[in-house]
Amino acid sequence: MICKKCIYDDHIPYISFDSKGICNYCHQHDQLETEYPTGDKGREILERIVEQIKRDGRDKPYDVVVGISGGCDSSYMLYLSKNLGLRPLAAHFDNTWNSQIAVENMHNILKKTNVDLFTHAVDNIEFCDIFKSFLKASVPDIDTPSDIGLATTHYLAAAKYGIKYIFEGHSFRTEGISPHGWFYMDAKYIETIQKQFGSHPLKTFPNLWITKWLKWAIVDGIKKIRPLYYLDYDKEQTKALLSREMEWQWYGGHHMENRTAYFTNNYYLPRKFNIDLRYSEYSALIRSGKLSRDEALTRIKEPKTFDIDILEEIKKRLCLSQEEFDGIMSLPPKTYRNYKTYKQTFENMRWFFWIMYRLDLVPKSFYMKYTRKYDDI
Ligand SMILES: [Zn+2]
């Protein structure tokens, strides 16, 4: 069965359909649409947020932390924050696998906007070891260390300068929110997997321990804002704008600014877990009227291209022989449920995270995905 509105079908976990054949993820999208309006109403809300940020930033060197990766969404965040009259501090987590284009993009945009950069580079050997541990754990979440690393880096930058706000470049309208059960991330998960499979202790990796996280969110009151939720964001127009004004280059696909992300999304996930991120991206674009369902159904049939040189580099840097790599790819798939994580804690503290979400201290998607018992859905 396939949703009558988007292209989600039975292979999407925890999918259900109403009497009209519309899936629960389309309804979830509609709820977010109501909660985060665009147009004049959205602009008004964003302006109010920006005024508050400016007030809170008085007497401080910066108003807001903007995470950058060299990708389209985050580059636009930096551009937008300057245009809104804010004084951003850019923050970057260097997992040592940036593509050359991403590095050039970051360099150009920082120069053009005259914005300072806070960066956290993890030790190259340590990060490779963590990445390898996740591969050996046979879970889909091999990008979790990069995602957690960047979240911590944003908090570190904010805490260092007393900044109260972090801008995130996520848009549920263009990127979508991944289905329940596709991915999971938390600090405990990383610690467990590294202890079990790794050969290096976590030293330079910035893990988001729950105590640190709650301190930054509750004691320091650092809020996470997603400005794109309030804007009519058109990715193609944005790419053109960034190329024209920021000497920014398109690198050929979503999440391809980083080589581990590229390997994960174009090789590892589709081949081992039957997870194709184009499903969530295309479905999000259909729901927000930016792509026709027919076009999406045609495009999804096209095979994903993959640059084999990246695979060779991954094997080389992780010191994996072809045999070892094949062994990893054929291990029975596991999930975070096979390992110790904070999930149970998040579920037990559901009421608390609801308050956190209402205060903008955690994104709504975190509350929706992490504090809910999956079996209840
Ligand atoms: Zn749907």
Task: Spell out the domains of the chain, with CATH numbers in brackets.
Answer: 37-275+307-337 (3.40.50.620), 342-377 (no CATH)
Q: Share the mean pLDDT of the chain.
A: 93
**Span 34-56, mean pLDDT?**
96
CA 25–ligand 1 middle distance (angstroms): 6
CA 32–ligand 1 middle distance (angstroms): 14
CA 173–ligand 1 middle distance (angstroms): 13
Secondary structure of residue 117 in the 3-state scheme: strand
Residue 209 has pLDDT above 60, yes or no: yes
State the pLDDT at residue 90: 98
**Span 361-372, mean pLDDT?**
85
Residue 254 has pLDDT above 70, yes or no: no
Under the banding of pLDDT at 50, 70 and 90, the label for residue 304 is confident
User: pLDDT tens digits, residue range 76-90?
Assistant: 999 999 999 999 999
Helix and strand totals (H; E) in the chain: 17, 5
Residue 375 has pLDDT above 70, yes or no: no
CA 179–ligand 1 middle distance (angstroms): 11
CA 26–ligand 1 middle distance (angstroms): 4
Contact in structure between 285 and 174 (CB atoms under 8 Å): yes
Q: Which amino acid is at 154?
A: H
Q: Give CA torsion, residues 200, 201, 205, 211, to 10 deg.
A: 160
- The sign of the torsion formed by the CA atoms of 368, 371, 374, 377 equals negative
Phi, psi at 319, each rounded to 5°: 55, 50
User: How far is residue 75's CA from residue 169's CA, in Å, rounded to a whole number?
Assistant: 8
**Span 154-162, mean pLDDT?**
97
Residue 158 has pLDDT above 90, yes or no: yes
Residue 251 has pLDDT above 80, yes or no: no
User: pLDDT tens digits, residue range 133-148?
Assistant: 999 999 999 999 999 9
CA 1–ligand 1 middle distance (angstroms): 11
User: How far is residue 286's CA from residue 250's CA, in Å, rounded to a whole number?
Assistant: 23
State the pLDDT at residue 23: 97
State the pLDDT at residue 255: 60
CA 366–ligand 1 middle distance (angstroms): 21
User: How far is residue 303's CA from residue 202's CA, in Å, rounded to a whole number?
Assistant: 38
Residue 377 has pLDDT above 80, yes or no: no
Residue 276 has pLDDT above 70, yes or no: yes
